[in-house]
């Protein structure tokens, strides 16, 4: 697949499924947990430790990596876990300028009380699937300064340049959303051409 983002952030996906919305429906019906990854990738850690059976992510039955729903008896989460989510939203939503991911709302600025699971997926879950960032490969060499933002209008994804660099490869930290390989990106308003990366780099982080 040319997409990354929910490749193996399965336990956060399960947390959201416990809350009533499976990862296969995030965002707006586009994403699926454990996409293009083996079953072992389901053991990725998450800030919230949701109680699941010891064979979580291993079997072909309930709670497997094939998109099956978590069985009802394992869907319980604590108020503390929900409060962790709420605290993250309160701390980041306004400060980082979150806007609605619903295309019908046209990028309306969000208040913490208006954040949906789709928004949470875009701004928190997807970036956390790649904690070490990625090496972007660009069609032409350029010069980039640490902290510059690289964006992809087609997906709403955004990344930050990790260090000063010159050349056709630049290491970035993902800030929001997921980039699509082969699709145009830009930096400071200047087009850079279609971006790509090594798929193995993604898998090594899962």
Do 121 and 28 sit in the same domain of this protein?
yes
- Asked if residue 1 belongs to a domain, the reply is no
Segment among 24-38, 91-105, 147-161 with least mean pLDDT? 24-38
- Asked if residue 2 belongs to a domain, the reply is no
Q: What is the DSSP code (8-state) at residue 67?
A: S
- Asked if residue 4 belongs to a domain, the reply is no
Question: How confident is the model at residue 201, as a pLDDT?
Answer: 87
- Give pLDDT tens digits for 88-119: 999 999 999 999 999 888 789 999 999 999 99
- Give pLDDT tens digits for 46-72: 443 333 333 333 443 434 434 456 666
Q: What's the CA gap between 180 and 195, in Å, rounded? A: 8
Do 145 and 108 sit in the same domain of this protein?
no
Of 128, 154, 184, which residue constitutes the final position of a domain? 128
Residue 140 Cα distances to 53, 91, 185, 186, 189, angstroms: 49, 38, 12, 12, 16
Q: Which residues contact 198 (CB under 8 A, 6 or more apart)?
A: 135, 137
Do 140 and 44 sit in the same domain of this protein?
no
Domain that holds residue 196: 134-204
| Ramachandran angles phi, psi of 83, nearest 5° | -65, -35
Total count of domains within the chain: 2
Q: What's the CA gap between 113 and 91, in Å, rounded? A: 12
């Amino acid at each position: 697949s040319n997409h990354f983002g929910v490749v193996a952030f399965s336990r956060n996906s399960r947390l959201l499924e416990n809350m009533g919305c499976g990862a296969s429906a995030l965002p707006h019906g586009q994403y699926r947990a454990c996409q293009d990854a083996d079953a072992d990738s389901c053991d990725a850690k998450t800030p919230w430790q949701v109680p699941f059976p010891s064979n979580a992510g291993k079997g072909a039955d309930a709670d497997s990596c094939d998109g099956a729903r978590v069985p009802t008896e394992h869907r319980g989460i604590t108020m503390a876990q929900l409060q962790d989510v709420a605290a993250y939203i309160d701390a980041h939503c306004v400060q980082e300028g979150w806007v609605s991911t619903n295309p019908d709302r046209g990028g309306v600025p969000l208040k913490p009380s208006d954040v949906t699971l789709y928004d949470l997926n875009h701004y928190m879950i997807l970036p956390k699937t790649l904690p070490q960032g990625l090496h972007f490969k660009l069609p032409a060499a350029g010069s980039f300064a640490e902290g510059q933002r690289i964006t992809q209008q087609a997906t709403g994804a955004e990344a930050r340049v990790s260090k000063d660099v010159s050349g056709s490869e630049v290491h970035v930290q993902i800030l929001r959303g997921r980039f699509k390989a082969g699709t145009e990106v830009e930096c400071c308003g200047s087009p850079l051409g279609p971006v790509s990366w090594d798929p193995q780099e993604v898998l090594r982080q899962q």
